[in-house]
Amino acid sequence: MNDPAEAARIRAGLDAVWSRIRAACEAAGRDPDEVRLLLATKTVEPEKIRVAIEAGATLVAENRVQEVRPKFEALDDLDYERHFIGHLQSNKINALVPYISCLQSLDRISLANKLQKRLEREDEQLDVLLQVNTSREESKFGLDPDNLEAFATEAGRLDRLRIRGLMTIGLFTDDQEKARPSLHRLRELRDQVRELNLDGVEMNELSMGMSGDLEVAIEEGATIVRVGTAVFGSRDTSGSDSRPGSPKT
Ligand SMILES: *Cc1c(COP(=O)(O)O)cnc(C)c1O
């Protein structure tokens, strides 16, 4: 990237977030190796993502299908893991699946069935997390917590999907404590589903916590925290709503 000051800002942001993760793990008595940092890179140019990967980031995720392939191609020479964390329409499955190793936003059975068909055709499997609407805001995608067990049972029968855990976008708030109930709830749900020992369902991952609430998320058991603005600065929101989980992302 030909803007050294910007590159330095990204590296400093990344270091600051890693420090926060380490401090939060220490405070919670957790092993820092149990918590992965995922960079949420919607609207971020590939050159900036490259700086972060070269500085040690290993996990990157997009929200919008149309951003996935161009960035994949621009960063093709780098070794990193790619997830998807946005709302996925069924008609975009084929444009997405070749480029990712994990879909964190599986939230309906019609989508699960279509993924299964595509993966059967290609003789492949895909890791998925089930997205849960823990804050029960109507504006958010995600499964109703009351339907989670039934959904996991049904999706667990689809042999091409490896269900690894749960994801949530907690309550938007400036106050970490207000985010806690929805994060705590996700962990309870994960433990409940794990107890059922369903075929085809592993419940190890908890993807929760963002720039504003990663400390509380780690305290509540997060294994993946998803961070955008704390590394890349605030997003240019002109013309589109780029809040996490908003219908337009
Ligand atoms: C953008 C986004 C994030 C990161 O949010 P920041 O507040 O920028 O850290 C996390 N999760 C999802 C699903 C997102 O869309």
Lowest mean pLDDT among 130-134, 178-182, 245-249: 245-249
Q: Is 239's pLDDT higher than 70? A: no
Half-sphere exposure of 200 (CA within 13 A, CB side): 16
Atom of ligand 1 nearest to the CA of 242: 1
Quote the pLDDT of residue 243: 59
End-to-end CA distance of the chain: 26
- Whether 63 lines ligand 1, by a CB cut-off of 6 Å, is yes
pLDDT at 125: 98
Which class would CATH give 4-229?
alpha beta
Residue 249 has pLDDT above 60, yes or no: no
Q: What is the pLDDT of residue 237?
A: 62
* Cα separations in angstroms, 202 against 56, 175, 182, 191, 214: 28, 32, 21, 11, 23
14 CB near ligand 1 (under 6 Å): no
Q: Tell me if 168 CB under 6 Å of ligand 1.
A: no
Q: Which residue has the least CA distance to atom 14 on ligand 1? A: 244
Please tell me the residue having the least CA distance from ligand 1 atom 2: 244
Q: How far is the CA of 53 from the centre of ligand 1 (A)?
A: 18
| Euclidean distance between CA atoms 249 and 243, whole angstroms | 7
Residue 86 Cα to ligand 1 midpoint, Å, equals 10
Least confident of 89-98, 142-151, 203-212, 238-247: 238-247
Tens of pLDDT, residue by residue over 165-174, are: 999 998 877 8
212 C-alpha vs ligand 1 centroid, how far in Å? 10
Q: Give φ, ψ of 124 to 5 degrees.
A: -130, 170
Ligand 1 atom at minimal distance to the Cα of residue 227: 9
What does the pLDDT read at residue 246? 53
What is the pTM assigned to this prediction?
Answer: 0.94
For residue range 83-106, list pLDDT tens digits in order. Answer: 999 999 999 999 999 999 999 999
Pocket test for ligand 1, best of 59, 85, 132 (most atoms within 8 A of CB): 85
Mutate to test the pocket of ligand 1, among 226, 242, 246 (most ligand atoms within 8 A of CB): 226
Least confident of 101-105, 142-146, 155-159, 240-244: 240-244
DSSP secondary structure code for residue 227 in this structure:
E
Q: Is 135 in the pocket of ligand 1 (CB under 6 A)?
A: no
- How far, in whole angstroms, is CA 46 from its chain's centroid? 18
Q: Has residue 242 got a pLDDT over 70?
A: no
Strand locations in 25-92 (E) = 36-40, 59-62, 81-84
In this structure, which residue's CA is closest to atom 7 in ligand 1?
211
